């Protein structure tokens, strides 16, 4: 029996939105829910670890659909559909990504493909001055998901889809595939900093703070020569993205200051 052709206009956009949102990433050292500080426990990572720069911007996505259309979204909501005359201008995402989304090749198979990007600079966040003095806006690709069983997922209610997403249901490209996709589609990846064995990662708070400074003393994502240069942190991930965690300078600085009192 032939499957019904996908049509974005006949799709529950609330469920599609939930299916293509980027999930929350845990911190490398566990956040204390009582005060927002860091605890001594860490995310368990085995095997090879990739370190990439965590850029301080706003999470954005380009959702390419099987009917040849695409959607642009922020972390929480969909902002624009291909062919719209007017889009939601929140956080400058549509202005930054619409032209590049128009140039992407449509998906070749019956899948939903999602490019996840960080849009930064301009007036996007309070940290924008660390990346630009001329208020330039840039974007970096950090993940791509290709969802081939999207029909099954779209048949569920929004709550079930949210649980599927937060439990790691989204299938992400392996590092090698991600790099090839970025090259094919003309995107810069978030800067790759190092590759090491998980056993080499620091476990103590002070050692981790020193590790961040050693591997990322200044941002590698500056958009011009007037950038302040202070980086946000490092994302630690396995090549298959089965495990991922973030380590931010400010979390360690705040926690260590509190402990030194």
User: Is residue 151 a contact partner of residue 159, using CB atoms and an 8 Å limit?
Assistant: no
- Reply yes or no on whether the pLDDT at 1 is more than 60: no
Residue 46 has, within 13 A of its CA and on its CB side, a CA count of 0
Q: pLDDT band at residue 3, thresholds of 50, 70 and 90?
A: low
Read off the pTM: 0.95
Q: What is the pLDDT of residues 176-235, one digit of tens each?
A: 999 999 999 999 999 999 999 999 999 999 999 999 999 999 999 999 999 999 999 999
Domains of the chain: 8-260 (3.30.470.30)
In terms of C-beta distances under 8 Å and separation of at least 24 residues, what long-range contacts does 164-169 make, across chains too?
A: 164/19, 165/18, 165/19, 165/21, 165/23, 166/23, 166/24, 168/23, 168/242
Helix (H, G, I), strand (E, B) or coil at 20: coil
Q: Which two tokens stand for residue 140?
A: 């970096």
């Amino acid at each position: 029996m032939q499957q019904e052709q996908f049509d974005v206009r006949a799709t529950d956009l609330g469920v599609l939105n939930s299916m293509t949102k980027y999930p929350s990433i845990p911190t490398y050292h566990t956040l204390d829910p009582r005060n927002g500080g860091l605890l001594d426990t860490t995310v368990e990572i085995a095997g090879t670890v990739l370190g990439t720069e965590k850029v301080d911007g706003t999470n954005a996505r380009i959702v390419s659909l099987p009917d040849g259309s695409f959607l642009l979204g922020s972390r929480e909501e969909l902002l624009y559909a291909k062919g719209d005359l007017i889009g939601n201008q929140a956080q400058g995402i549509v202005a930054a990504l619409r032209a590049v989304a128009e140039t992407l090749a449509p998906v070749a198979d019956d899948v939903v493909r999602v490019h996840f990007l960080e849009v930064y600079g301009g007036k996007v966040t309070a940290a924008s001055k660390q990346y630009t003095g001329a208020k330039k806006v840039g974007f970096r690709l950090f993940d791509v998901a290709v969802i081939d069983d999207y029909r099954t997922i779209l048949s569920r209610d929004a709550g079930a889809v949210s649980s599927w997403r937060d439990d790691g249901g989204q299938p992400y490209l392996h590092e090698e595939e991600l790099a090839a996709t970025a090259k094919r589609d003309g995107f810069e990846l978030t800067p790759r900093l190092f590759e090491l064995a998980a056993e080499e990662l620091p476990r103590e708070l002070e050692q981790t703070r020193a590790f961040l400074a050693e591997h990322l003393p200044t941002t590698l994502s500056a958009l011009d020569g007037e950038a302040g240069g202070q980086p946000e942190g490092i994302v630690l991930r396995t090549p298959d993205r089965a495990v991922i965690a973030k380590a931010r300078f400010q979390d360690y600085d705040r926690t260590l200051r509190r402990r030194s009192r």
